[in-house]
Chain A
Amino acid sequence: MIALLARDLRLAVRAGGGFGLGLAFFLIVIVLIPFGVGPEASVLTRIAPGVLWVAALLAALLSLDRIFALDHEDGSLPLLATSPLPLEGVALTKGVAHWLTTGLPLTLAAPALGFLLNLAPAAYPYLLASLALGTPALSMIGTFGAALTVGIRRGGLLLSLLVLPLYVPTLIFGAEAVRLGSDGLSATVPLAMLSGITLFSYALLPFATAAALRINLR
């Protein structure tokens, strides 16, 4: 599993790996929002939590179809399936690798971009915490969606349609945590719910992902 993780990370940072794709998208969306909404600081402060979370979610969505599609195209997937690695382990590793190359950079970049949207100072710790707790779930749910659509040519649209409804709870609790934080209220409940979603998805979805892969490999 460590070998697979190391390979996926190495592939992501080499040419054409798509490491910067999600991050660049996130940056562009957040930079464009003030131009579209107008420069009024109070409006930006109010919409900042939701906009930051929606943008992070869409940025994570952008690179989902690479998770298994590339390995399927070049034939690595059947070879991994016959290797000593259990497919559940492959699924978990793929989810973690996606988070390390997408969710983690997004989390680290978010405070800088929150500044562009005039995010309330009190909200910064909650923004970091909610993204750190929530984006791993986005990666794992997305890995499951990618496994469902792995054999389909240009399955990106189907993947988005499948995965977006599953992202809604994460989005609601994530944005809620930041909003409560920016109002100076305690955000323990949404943060606990976010952690719950993440733990739940990492406990169950590797098995579902492996089952989907087995069907698609036949």
Chain B
Amino acid sequence: MMLTVENVTCARGGMPVLSGVSFALDAGQALVLRGPNGCGKTTLLRTLAGLQSPLAGSVTFPEDEGAYASHADGIKAQLSVTENLSFWADVHGRPMPDDVFTSFDLDDLRDRLAGTLSAGQKRRLGLARLGVIGRKVLFLDEPTVSLDGFSVRMFADFLRDKHLAQGGVAVIATHIDLGLDAPEMDLTPFKADHTATGGSDEAFL
């Protein structure tokens, strides 16, 4: 098992939003999270990625293999496309793969400053980071926002051929159909009881 999630309860602003979430993903599998706005998809993904600790339950995946991507791409407007990507390659201590520009249709934009890109192009640059850092366990929060149909297919191809096919796993929160052969999980049944206690920060502090 690459990723095991057992009975996780997660909270936002001290209030439990989801409880009892369990699933397991084997190498090459993906899981699509569904649910209405505000049901806790982002909170769950941040908890899984380790940015916040779960109130209860456990998340296990190989150490130093998790990567998180959200609407905010961490793109520096004053750096060029190549500089942005090679920074993340350096931070992760990996060589810069050459095919990543082609995979995300960034070939013509290599030397453009990221600040001059359109919203969709920026999004592609943000997603291209995933191709650079080579992490096996991806937590993706609405990866296709502001992408056109062509780019969505391109990203789905990348996930299928370059990531899942090489033994990666992905947990994706999205409202549109990516065309991936992946099971979907509706988060509505896991909605936490708001009267439940345990949302305090005491244990952490």
Is residue B73 contacting chain A, with contact meaning CB distance below 8 A? Answer: yes
Contact B92 A14 (CB under 8 A): no
Tell me the complex Cα distance, A16–B79, Å.
Answer: 12
Q: B residues 16-51 with Cβ under 8 Å of A?
A: 46, 49-51
Contacting residues, chain B, for A81 (C-beta < 8 A)? 51
> Is A43 in contact with chain B by the CB < 8 A criterion?
no
Please tell me which one of the listed residues A71, A82, A85, A218 contacts residue B67 in the complex, with CB atoms under 8 A apart. Answer: A82
| Given A16-B78, A75-B71, A3:B87 Cβ within 8 A | yes
Asked whether A78 and B51 contact (CB < 8 A) given A3-B90, A83-B92, A84-B92, the answer is yes
Q: Name the contact of A10 in the complex, choosing from B51, B83, B205 (C-beta under 8 A).
A: B83
- Further 8 A-B residue pairs, CB within 8 A, beyond A7-B87, A81-B51: A7-B76, A75-B74, A76-B76, A78-B46, A79-B67, A79-B68, A82-B66, A217-B52
A82–B83 CB distance below 8 A: no
Contacts of B196 in A (CB 8 A): none
Interface SS majority for chain A: helix
Within 8 A of A (CB), among B79-110: 79, 83, 87-88, 90-93
B70 at the interface (CB under 8 A from A): yes
**Which 3 A-B residue pairings sit nearest by Cβ, starting from the closest?**
A75-B72, A3-B90, A76-B74
Q: Which of B69, B72, B83 contacts A74 (CB 8 A)?
A: B72
CB of B161 within 8 Å of the partner chain: no
Residues of A within 8 A of B71 (CB): 75
Closest Cβ–Cβ distance, residue A132 to chain B (whole Å) = 29
Answer yes or no: B148 CB below 8 A from chain A CBs. no
Instruction: Report the bound CA distance from A93 to B74 in whole Å.
Output: 18
Q: Are B49 and A4 in contact (CB under 8 A)?
A: no
B50's closest neighbor in chain A, by CB? A82
Asked whether B75 is an interface residue with its Cβ less than 8 Å from the other chain, the reply is yes
